[in-house]
Amino acid sequence: MKRMFTVYTIAGVLAIFVFQGFQCASPEFTGAKVYIQQRNFAEALPLLENEVKNNPQNEEAWYLLGAIRADMDNYAGMNEAFDQALKISNVHAAEIRGIRFNKWGLHVNAGVNLLERASADSAGFYDESIDEFQKSINAWPDTAITYRYLAYAYNNKGDMENALKIFLKAWEMGDESESAKRAGLIYIRRGDELKNKFETDNKEKIASVNNLQRVRRNTPKNDVQSILGKPDKVTPGPRGSRKEDWTYAKYNLKLTIESDKVTVKEVKPPYNPGIDSTSYRNAVAQYANAIEILEEARKKDPADGDVIALLMQGYIGADKINEAISTFLIQVQRDPTNKQNHYVLGVLYRSAGKFEEAITSFQEALKIDSEFTDATYDIGATYYNWGVDVIRMAEERGDIESKEYVEKFEKALPFMEKVSMSADRSNSPEIWETLGTIYARLGKTTQATQAFEKADKLRQGN
């Protein structure tokens, strides 16, 4: 981030003035010039202040007043005087720009040096760098880059509230997309924190909703008890039948069990665990802020991959998977030889339940790198998830004899077997457990047993 600026002394600029025009000048203005030649700026200051009060159209007096105030680090007064001079004439425009640049550069250089020295053990340098950057802004308020440097200092200090505000200011002033990316990242991190808070605060309630959803038609009664616990009430069916009604008061749930499986599920009134969604809604609002500014940045520079990646995080955080897919498709089209682009797009497709499109994307990644283990694994995982989804849908419609899933598991198997032999995944118990499930579903009992045993040994550290 280091960037140094060449600076010049203001005293040298003031020293070049001679007695031109003294004959017609007021006594205050003449006296001020004498003091300036003597470098006695403290005495020249009140004389110039009187001069501009009495002769507000004296452009040179305004200019000299601004230069002296700059030498005294009175930047508000400097800018007031310089602005008045420029309203009257551009005679000293170049000199004014030089003085402003001089003071701005001095403080920017000091701020950068202090920021590079700052750390957790020397946090005081953050405040000093902030002070220097603020002075540089006071000296030259119209430079967006200075606001960005100030935002870096706040960001590194951990003051994200001020960092965000200043990054947004820099972006609004026409800064390049770095400020937009930084602001977007802060919004995304805020969203992540709020979403984590929502999940933590409502952990048990969310789990109860998920458990209720897991119980559906054709769920074995043993699985029901494993998920929900023992029912509050069991009402036997007609004598000689294998029918029972199970009641769970907590969920307002009534299940009809026949032949050891759920045949009817009723939740009346609808189960409401009282989840507090305030943090979640606030998280979505933060992601929306990130998306808004990052979309603006993408319009200015559609080829910026960092903007695309952050946009994807924002869309995923806001549970807008389809928007994330659309965003990353642009990245894939722009750089089709990048295997990671195809891989991430595949993950997004799978998250949206678009299994076929996901597999196609992973296969494109493998065309670029045939040893890309992540893509190999995710093809197998996608076929596996697809097969599980097929099983679930068959059970829900009561077709418990359906074998539609077999094709998906058969396609998943070679990819999972290849991954299980890879150096970086062979010791993963999850891989072997998934393999065991696939083998079992395909009727390969011996291989299933061996895979499950391997998973158990890995978990035990053997």
For the segment 325-374, what is each residue's pLDDT rounded down to a tens digit? 998 898 898 889 999 889 989 999 999 999 999 999 999 999 999 999 99
Q: Hunting for tokens 């004959």 — which residue is that?
A: 23
What is the structure's pLDDT at 334?
86
Long-range CB pairs of 172-175, under 8 A, 24+ apart, other chains included: 173/142, 173/144, 173/147, 174/144, 175/144, 175/145, 175/147, 175/148
Q: At 261, give phi and psi (nearest 5°).
A: -140, 155
Query: For 203-261, how does the pLDDT look when each residue is reduced to its tens digit (9 = 90+)?
Result: 999 999 999 999 988 888 999 999 999 999 999 998 888 899 999 999 999 999 998 98
Query: For 153-173, how does the pLDDT look when each residue is reduced to its tens digit (9 = 90+)?
Result: 999 999 999 999 999 999 999
Please tell me the number of Cα atoms within 13 Å of 182 on its side-chain side: 27
Would the pTM count as exceeding 0.85? no
Token digits of residue 114: 């202090």
- Average pLDDT value for residue range 384-400: 84
Cα of 311 vs its chain's centroid, Å: 8
Distance CA 75, CA 40 (A): 19
Q: How many residues does the chain have?
A: 462
The architecture of the domain spanning 1-166 is Alpha Horseshoe (1.25)
CATH class held by domain 335-459: mainly alpha
Contacts of 93 (CB under 8 A, 6+ apart): 86
Contacts of 306 (CB under 8 A, 6+ apart): 181
State the chain's mean pLDDT as an integer. 90
Distance CA 245, CA 196 (A): 38
Distance CA 383, CA 435 (A): 12
**What number of other Cβ atoms are within 10 A of residue 295's Cβ?**
15
Residue 20 has pLDDT above 50, yes or no: no
Task: For the chain, give every domain's residue range.
Answer: 1-166, 214-267, 335-459
> For residues 26, 29, 33 and 36, what is the CA-based torsion angle, rounded to 10 degrees?
160
Please check whether the two domains, 1-166 and 335-459, share a CATH topology: yes
**What number of other Cβ atoms are within 10 A of residue 408's Cβ?**
22
Distance CA 6, CA 416 (A): 61
Of the chain, the end-to-end C-alpha distance in Å amounts to 48
